[in-house]
Amino acid sequence: MTRVLVSGGTGYVGRFIVEHLLASGYEVTVACRSRPTASFFSQPVAYMPLHLDPDRDQIAAFDEVYYFVHAAFEHVEGRYRGGEGGDPEGFRRANLDGSVRLFEEARTAGVRRCVFLSSRAVYGKTSSPILDESTTPEPDTLYGEVKLGAENALESLAGPAFVTASLRITGVYGPAGSGRRHKWSSLFADYLAGASVPPRIGTEVHGDDVAKAVRLMLEADAAKISGKVFNVSDVLTDTRDILAILQAATGCSHPLPPPTQPAVFKVMAIDRLRAIGWKPGGIGRLAATVRDLAGVQS
């Protein structure tokens, strides 16, 4: 089996990646600050302590590692934009300088491929009507700046022996795993309790579809992906759409929030990722997931 090191594998998105790679036959090592509990994943995984610290020598973590998926990110819990809290320099040092150090050590250690989980936040408030990978990024948050800086650093390291790719991911949904709350837990609870729910629109992608994109980066022809970025997005939806599915699943009679105009939100084009075989679940998967989560919620 091919060994993959997944940093941040116990995180919300990281867990999807680990589970998907395990199911696809990869030997996975989870790299994070503390060891996950024995029941955290569906099957046993190896553990490697790893920190986002540019001053640490952690090259030994990459011994016998074929692929490195970098999903780790330090931030105030529950926040990405604004996740620096009161320590912007520490945030930058950990998430940019610390990531670059890991990229460099991975390449030095002989890792063949490195996949970085970036974000649509790199686009910021660009005036471009469609966000594709040729759109000039204009990040307007420190989070977006740090993600873009890490993308650029990784691209500069790409070469025949070190294939790199960055995935610009939109909002991720799906089951959060045993003992954890899914991203819409509070939204569902508020609606079912009859509380007022403000309208909100955004793009969503299932965590397993993100994991499929990661696996594509590990398996695709190197010439098609190396040194490139890929948008990862799926469904444009708003709270009304999501809660309408919940309403139908639960029989709740509370009124839905007003619809949000789609024109106010810029979607990311995903043609580049589709061209190498990625197929997200679309509205069907979102609806099925909401119904499944509703069963847990109710």
Look at the block and give the residue holding tokens 């000039």.
136
Q: What is the pTM of this model?
A: 0.94
pLDDT at 27: 96
CB contact burial 45-67 (16+ within 10 A = b; e otherwise) = beebebbbeeeeebeebbeebbb
- Position 298 scores a pLDDT of 38
Same domain, 219 and 139: yes
Look at the block and give the residue holding tokens 């629109």: 201
Q: Are residues 110 and 191 in the same domain?
A: no
Q: How far is CA 268 from the centre of its chain?
A: 15
Tell whether 179 is covered by a domain: no
| pLDDT for position 129 | 79
Alpha-carbon radius of gyration of the chain: 19
Q: What is the mean pLDDT of residues 236-242?
A: 95
Domain presence at residue 180: no
Contact 170, 268 (CB under 8 A): yes
Which residues, other chains included, contact 133 with Cβ-Cβ below 8 Å and sequence gap of 6+?
168, 228, 229, 230, 231, 269, 272
Do 106 and 228 lie in a common domain? yes
* CATH classification of the domain holding 263: 3.90.25.10
- pLDDT at residue 297 is higher than 50: no
For the chain, give me the number of helices (H) and strands (E)?
10, 10
Instruction: For residue 157, give the 3-state DSSP assignment.
Output: helix
Comparing 34 with 41, which gets the higher pLDDT? Answer: 41
Domain membership of residue 222 (yes or no) is yes
Q: CA 234, CA 206: separation in Å to the nearest integer? A: 8
Alpha-carbon distance 46 to 61, whole Å? 12
Q: What percent of the chain has pLDDT over 90?
A: 83
Helix, strand and coil in the chain, % to nearest 5:
40, 20, 40
Q: Are residues 162 and 190 in the same domain?
A: no
Is the domain of 191 the same as that of 166?
no
DSSP 30: E
**Same-domain pairing of 85 and 54:** yes
Q: Quick one: pLDDT at residue 38? A: 86
Judged against a pLDDT cut of 80, whether residue 20 lies above it is answered with yes
Same domain, 218 and 89: yes
Asked if residue 35 is part of any domain, the answer here is: yes
- Domain identity same for 196 and 220: no
Q: Tell me how many domains the chain contains.
A: 2
Q: Is residue 178 a part of any domain in this protein?
A: no
Structural domain for 198, as ranges: 185-203+234-297
26, 70: one domain: yes
The model's confidence at residue 130, banded by pLDDT at 50, 70 and 90, is confident
Instruction: Kindly tell me if the per-residue pLDDT of 167 is higher than 90.
Output: yes
- Same domain, yes or no: 250 and 283: yes
Task: Assign residue 124 the CATH number of its domain.
Answer: 3.40.50.720
CB 224, CB 191: distance < 8 Å: no
Domain shared by 216 and 276, yes or no: no
Residue 167 to residue 170: CA distance in whole angstroms: 10
125 occurs within a structural domain: yes
Q: Which of 113, 133, 119, 116 is nearest to 221 (CA)?
A: 113
Confidence bin at 166 (pLDDT 50/70/90): very high
Question: Same domain for 224 and 282?
Answer: no
